[in-house]
Amino acid sequence: MQDFLQQTLSGTPPAQRQGSNAHLHWQWHDEGILSLTPVNPSRQALVLSAGIHGNETAPVEILNLLLEPLLSGERPLAVRLLVLLGNPAALRSGKRYQQHDINRLFGGRWQQVSDVPEARRALQLERALENFWRECRDHEIRWHLDLHTAIRGSYHARFGVMPLNTHPWPDDFLHWLAAANLDALVFHRTPGGTFTHFSCEHYDAASCTLELGRALPFGENDLNQFSGVQQALAALLYGEALPAVHETPRHYRVAQQITRHSDDFILHMGPETLNFTAFPQGTLLAEEGDTRYYVQQAREYVLFPNPNVAPGLRAGLMLVEETPQTGALAL
């Protein structure tokens, strides 16, 4: 198998489900689920996922470009690797999802909507992670990078979203994120149903959701704007030196979440509002019946504003900026 993406999009398994070359052994476990084991021992286990949302194609194309020289035997593999294309059916249709946002269903939350395709896929992905991390329990370094694109434009074209973590983030993980040329990191303070939170909470993996540009169809992405991420991923996979860090990403933490509960919900932001747009204290952000959402800090930045989410889901996050060294607010 030479093209993991095309094989997945075809909807059929490869004629050969496993194989080897001079550097690795590969195994197709199921649709969009591929593991690669290096010939030489490695201290690091890595999960790379993309396509959790079917309209977010740039990360899928980047991931496939990185896999091609590994599967062909042209490049060595330096880590124990699990590659996941999260929602193949949505990728084939070019839609964000079929019936439910799969990135709200991990950690067993799929049981709440167990009759939809995304629930069955979330369970399948959870089991794939469980099997992989169990096989890699002796690996000292365990990372999960989930590659996405944002629905709308952003003042930070490349940023990472960090799940709640009860332990300090490893220095080498934060250094890699900086070397990947990310503009910003957003730190959650509460649990969530995302794929990266599931890895972090249940398997103690250093994990991050990478948001790379804006969602576009296959073939319309300018991958040059993500060259820093691609180079950093290549260094990780092939065992090469990381790119130099030119600037430390700005740090934000989630201050409050805006949740839509009914059709009465009104978000006071237009479709032109970019991610990381700043609002001053006291600004009315959204309302629903008697509930009002206001900016509470001196300045808050919006992330992922979307009034069209299903009831009960997040319609936006409000952030405050922190200085990376101390965690103090940057005012």
Quick one: average pLDDT of 182-204?
94
- Tell me the domain boundaries of the chain: 4-238, 252-322
61 is in an annotated binding site: no
Phi then psi dihedrals of residue 25, to 5 deg: -115, 135
Known catalytic residue at 126: no
Point out which residues pair with 85 in neighbouring strands: 50
The residue from 126, 201, 211, 288 that is catalytic is 211
Query: Binding residue per annotation — 25?
Result: no
Per-residue pLDDT at 220 exceeds 80: no
Q: What is the mean pLDDT of residues 202-216?
A: 89
Contact at 8 Å (CB) between 209 and 148? yes
- Quote the pLDDT of residue 260: 95
Per-residue confidence (pLDDT) for residue 150, from 0 to 100:
80
Query: How does pLDDT run across 268-320, given as a tens digit for each residue?
Result: 999 999 999 999 999 999 999 999 999 999 999 999 999 998 898 899 999 99
Those residues whose C-beta lies under 8 Å from the C-beta of residue 213, and which sit 6 or more positions away, are 58, 149, 150, 157, 158, 221, 222, 225, 226
Report the pLDDT value the prediction gives residue 272, as an integer from 0 to 100.
92
- The pair of structure tokens assigned to 154 is 């952003």
Helices (H), the chain: 4-9, 58-71, 88-93, 117-135, 171-179, 195-203, 227-238
Tell me what pLDDT residue 330 has: 53
pLDDT at residue 4 tops 90: yes
Cα distance between residue 278 and residue 286, in whole Å: 15
Q: Do 252-322 and 4-238 fall under one CATH topology? A: no
Q: Which residue has the higher pLDDT, 213 or 47?
A: 47
CB under 8 Å to 270, separation ≥6 — which residues?
A: none
Task: Compute, in degrees rounded to 10, the torsion defined by CA atoms 283, 284, 290, 291.
Answer: -80
Architecture of domain 4-238: 3-Layer(aba) Sandwich (3.40)
Point out which residues pair with 321 in neighbouring strands: 252
Q: Is 148 annotated as ligand-binding?
A: yes
DSSP letter string, 93-148: HTSS-SSS-GGG-TTTGGGGGTTSHHHHHHHHHHHHHHHHHHHTTT-SEEEEEEEE
On whether the CB atoms of residues 303 and 275 are closer than 8 A, the answer is yes
Q: Provide, rounded to the nearest whole percent, the portion of the chain with pLDDT above 90.
A: 82
What integer pLDDT is reported at residue 325 of this predicted model?
Answer: 52
Asked if 179 and 118 count as a contact pair (C-beta separation under 8 A), the reply is no
Q: What is the mean pLDDT of residues 51-67?
A: 93
Which of the four pLDDT bands, split at 50, 70 and 90, describes residue 331?
Answer: very low
Options 2.60.40.1580, 2.40.50.630, 2.40.10.120, 3.40.50.2300; CATH for 252-322 is: 2.40.50.630
Indicate the pTM of the whole model: 0.92
